Structure 1
Amino acid sequence: MILIVALWTLLFLTVLAVSAGMGTRQKIILLGRLQDRAEVQGALEAGIKKGVSLLMDDLENNQFLYSPDGKQRRHHNPDELSGIRVGDVTVDVVCRQAFGAGGLVREIYGLCDEQGLLNINVADRLVLARLMALVLGIRDDEAQDLADNIVDWRDYGKRQQEGFFSDEYYSQLEHPYEMKETPFERIDELLLVKGITKGIYDALRPFVTVWGDGRVNINTVPGVVLQAFGLDPEVVEKILRAR
């Protein structure tokens, strides 16, 4: 009888030890992940602060003028904006930047100038449609549909499309939601708009913004955006060469 009690006691203690060990291991893994996340978050914040510091330093040194040296330092500066070491984490400040007269995109070590992009909150349907056609290489009618969907999403009571193509489309989705009918607050809200797939969003992202008053910085605006505003390709080429 005593032997049986001893065996049961040993079994109970073994199970308890295994459970405690598993619980401790899970807590250690969780703490490790939280620590890793904190380190990554700290590194990201350091990268942002580095970019802000560089920008403010450049503005003050150049008396808030957009000099050629300042342009180089802000938008193509691997010496200061790549390989930023924070603890065990390395951060690069990278911008997907459009270049040339076409829709080509490259990654550079530097800051993105949102003032050089097309503001989807104020651009009209025609400009948006031109941009869609140029960047995505789609037909004019398809580009116009996407432009209409964007404007319908952002503007209250100014519907270009009715019925299935507006309210009913969003209400009939598997996970329905309402049209916002207010300006975009984040650029990734585009993914909520009818017809904007992840592929389309990724293609448009280097050319559009939700910031600014609609005017663009002639020193950084992509050639495709200038064409979307109606400038001839020959004029766009001259502007790009001059700057």
Structure 2
Amino acid sequence: MKSSTSQFIPLNPFTDQKKSRKLRAGSTLLVVLVVVVMLSLGAYTFSELMIVEVEATNIYGRSIQSRELALSGIELAAAYIGDRSDIDGWNSYHNPDQFQNKNLLPSDAPRASGYFSIVAPVTKDASSNTIRFGLMNESGKLNLNILASEDEQEEGAAVDRLMNIPNMTEEIAAAILDWIDDDDETRSYGAESDYYETLESPYFTKNSPLESLDELLLVRGVTPELLYGEDTNRNGLLDSNENDGDATLPNDNTDGILNAGWCEYFTVHSREINIRPDGSEKINVNQTMLTELYDALETELGPDEARYIVAYRLSGPVVTESDLATGASSTTVGGSMSEKQALNELANGIAKAMFSEEGVSVTRGGMDLSPGGAFTINSLFDLIGSEVETEIDGTKTTLSSPWLADPGAMTAELPVLHDLLTTSKNQYIEGRIQIDEARLETLLGIPGMEADLANAIVNSQMTATNGAPSTEISQARQTTGWLVIEGLTTIEQMRLLAPYICSGG
């Protein structure tokens, strides 16, 4: 029997290691390659992230700079408005020297420079391809907050003023008036709290003046499209995205005309400051104390002017056929006839109590002032080219106005009268329409405004014959008297319009 023997073969560690090295040599290179790629990718990603961060930081910084430049423009405009030292050369309508490309960050690098311009639309440019470098007067818009009081004076007057605005409906007009009036009584087609309380998110009507136009979005029927229109960037120009239908926002009708929205027709901030350019008080020609009125007028203007104004307050104007034809003889603005009569009776009683004794009367310029002022001067145009019949030194006398209704005299005298005199005791006069910048639809809503005159005003607004904004016309239009001076209307018609229009604001 054969026995099997096993042969022992010793291992050579050096040979095995050598073989192992040969097997692992390629894999090491692959691992190194992967690590290098990953590190490179990480470095690239980090680099890209840092580049993006730098760009984002630069963009954020530039956006802050842009905002601060815009705020600087606002501050410049406010300072310009506040400085009336050079009132004769004051031009806020179109003033490129003052408002175009103002450099606040000078730099040799174009992207590092900072400029701002103050721009406004040329409202009579239907194509919306023209801008001007100047301010937009809020008084050129309809102040919604005065409508409730106007409706109290004449029912339906406020709705009539709103219905001339594009895309306005009777239902929305009534709802706006219900929102701002001070009662809970729903007018025809209107909406009060009983409607808004039925909504999914109920709320009450404000029943007080608006603080911003954005509040209109709470009113039934008012939409962002109606309020803001197509001019999303508010630059006054018809941009390509605002005339391409539904291709890009905003959605528009591709009619080639910029729908500016109601925000270009409405305001809640229009007012005029009722003081002289030097900050002192004007003389209120409707003040109760006729003796004080006469003395102040005599000091400022002279005895003839003082006598005429006080005589007007005592006896009223001589009514002519043209006055009757236009209705310009009316003396009721700001209150009903019964309210006016009550105020007159009160004023007369005070005057008689203070000035009248047994057989004693107070006189100025030969006129007995003890009866008090029975008539109200609605506007300073009531004094232009009119006549008054009153008793002077016991004799009925007809006085002709010292201010003639011819263009030359009005051009010279109206600015002086408007600087010195006023028909209101209020520090501010709210809501009158600045006709030089108002849109046609806004003008058509003014009581007494005829369509032909409204169109004539728009065609005569401050643009030169080539369509570019004018820098000269504003100097000749310091008062609304330019409507008469340039032959657009008569002095009789002007007396009706004057309580609702202005040239400042």
Q: Is the 8 A contact 1:118 1:214 kept in 2?
A: no
| Match of residue 230 from structure 1 | 447
The residue identity in structure 2 corresponding to 1:91 is F
Structure 2 alignment gaps of length 5 or more? 1-23, 106-112, 228-259, 272-428, 458-479, 485-502
Match among 192, 196, 204 for residue 262 of structure 2: 204
Using the TM superposition, give the Cα deviation of residue 104 of structure 1 relative to its aligned residue in structure 2, in angstroms. Answer: 11
CA distance in 2: counterparts of 1:179 and 1:92, whole angstroms:
41
| Match of residue 241 from structure 1 | 483
Structure 1 alignment gaps of length 5 or more? none
Cα shift readout 1:78-136 (whole Å, capped 9, x = no counterpart)? 2321222333343221234656xxx9987432222223432212313645533443231
Matches within 5 A, 1:11-22: 11-22=37-48
Q: Assess, with a 3 A threshold, how the Cα gap between structure 1 residues 198 and 78 changes in structure 2: closer, same or farther.
A: farther
| Match of residue 95 from structure 1 | 120
Q: Is the 8 A contact 1:75 1:110 kept in 2?
A: yes
Q: Is the 8 A contact 2:184 2:192 kept in 1?
A: no
Q: CA-atom RMSD, angstroms?
A: 3.8
Q: Is the 8 A contact 2:120 2:132 kept in 1?
A: yes
Match among 92, 101, 104 for residue 83 of structure 1: 101
| Match of residue 119 from structure 1 | 143
Matches within 5 A, 1:1-243: 3=28, 5-57=31-83, 59-62=84-87, 69-70=89-90, 73-87=91-105, 88-96=113-121, 98=123, 107-124=131-148, 126-136=156-166, 143-155=169-181, 158=184, 160=186, 161-162=190-191, 166-167=195-196, 171-172=199-200, 178=203, 181=206, 183-201=209-227, 202-211=260-269, 212=271, 214-216=430-432, 220=436, 222=438, 224-233=441-450, 241-242=483-484
Q: Is the 8 A contact 1:127 1:228 kept in 2?
A: no
The residue identity in structure 1 corresponding to 2:69 is A
CA distance in 2: counterparts of 1:22 and 1:153, whole angstroms:
55
Q: Is the 8 A contact 1:77 1:109 kept in 2?
A: yes
- The answer to which structure, 1 or 2, has the higher relative contact order (CA under 8 A, 6+ apart) is 1
User: How many pairs are equivalent?
Assistant: 225
Q: Which has the higher helix share?
A: 1
Using the TM superposition, give the Cα deviation of residue 23 of structure 1 relative to its aligned residue in structure 2, in angstroms. Answer: 1.9
CA distance in 1: counterparts of 2:434 and 2:442, whole angstroms:
10
The residue identity in structure 2 corresponding to 1:92 is S
Please identify, of 90-99 and 45-54, the stretch whose mean Cα deviation from structure 2 is larger: 90-99
The residue identity in structure 1 corresponding to 2:81 is L
The normalised TM-score by structure 1 is 0.70
Q: Is the 8 A contact 1:135 1:203 kept in 2?
A: no
CA distance in 1: counterparts of 2:435 and 2:193, whole angstroms:
42
CA distance in 2: counterparts of 1:158 and 1:208, whole angstroms:
24
Q: Assess, with a 3 A threshold, how the Cα gap between structure 1 residues 135 and 217 changes in structure 2: closer, same or farther.
A: closer
Which of structures 1 and 2 has the bigger CA Rg?
2
Q: Is the 8 A contact 2:137 2:434 kept in 1?
A: no
Cα shift readout 1:154-184 (whole Å, capped 9, x = no counterpart)? 4566353459993167x34xxx574562543
% identical aligned pairs? 17
Q: Assess, with a 3 A threshold, how the Cα gap between structure 1 residues 152 and 17 changes in structure 2: closer, same or farther.
A: farther
